[in-house]
Structure 1
């Protein structure tokens, strides 16, 4: 196995950054730390190229495992320094919580990719409405359009997202039924 090239690492960064940050955030509960952890993983990968295989599944597994371990180390380090202050013990997240975090991160990643394929107007309004949780009035004021235009764009975005994500969610339903 040969180490990844910088171009391959860049492609992995672009593909997995958002879901990995979401996954790390579910563990560390801090947005800045989650961003730092994921960035550190990619910087280390650039500094010391590690042969992780050419199969997409092995690359993804490597990234999620590395981010999980880095996130847990971050918590351990924080708990160790707090222990001297508060004399509390460290409780590692349960395996089910880590699995939930992984599934949620994957869903967010697929949603982010799907939103990026929407037409520009739908994309912008969808991100403001659903990711930044802005009201229709705020969005209408920002784009200087009517509230009905915002509602129409949101409805259009949801219809397009349903079409784009339906194969993914059918697979998720089957997986859910098999394991739960």
Structure 2
């Protein structure tokens, strides 16, 4: 059960930590710490998935905020300036974005294989049409068809709370 939980959430918790820290290695360490903390305290946390996710997200957020505070304290000490308690991170927006990506990733995984590849290469890796065509050895029409089908499937099946956020990302 613990391994399944770890496999299910680690990528998203790691991505969330990366969004907050901007450091890939730190993000992996923080995500690992969040899971370690959860496994040590899981008897005190509800086994409901939303409670577990909330615990993991909160652990990451608190770790990053504490790290941020320590960095600011050190900087204040060395520069002898006043410490300003400012949180430049928009925590709620980052959580929502991470949850949206998790939802989209789940939906993409239900698409046919080539369609999955087109969607991931287009939207997650940011490849151009020419690069995707070359990589997958498909025609431009096949690429457009798979992209259209993938977007339609996601739009029809995405959780309604994420729909408008997804639209604002896809159609700025």
TM-score, normalised to structure 1, is 0.76
SS at match of 1:50: helix
Q: Counterparts in 2 of 1:40-55, with a 5 A limit?
A: 40-46=33-39, 48-51=40-43, 52-55=45-48
2:155·2:163 contact (CA, 8 Å) conserved in 1?
Answer: no
The residue that corresponds to 1:143 in the other structure is 136
Tell me the residue number matched to 2:169: none
Match for 2:57 among 61, 64, 81?
64
Residue 94 of structure 1: how far off its partner (Å): 6.0
The 2-side partners of 1:22 and 1:120 are apart by 24
Aligned to 1:105: 98
Segments of structure 2 that go 5 or more residues without pairing to the other structure are 165-172
Deviation at 1:21, TM superposition (A): 2.5
Per-residue deviation at 1:90?
5.3
Q: Show the 5 A alignment for 1:103-142.
A: 103-142=96-135
Deviates more, 1:69-78 or 1:153-162: 69-78
Which segments of 5 or more consecutive residues in structure 1 lack a partner in the other structure? Answer: 1-6, 175-180
- 1:136 deviation in Å? 0.8
What is the number of residues matched between the two proteins?
A: 162
For the aligned residue pairs, the C-alpha RMSD in angstroms reads 2.5
Note the alpha carbon deviations across 1:140-166, whole angstroms, 9 max, x for none. 11112222221221111111111221x
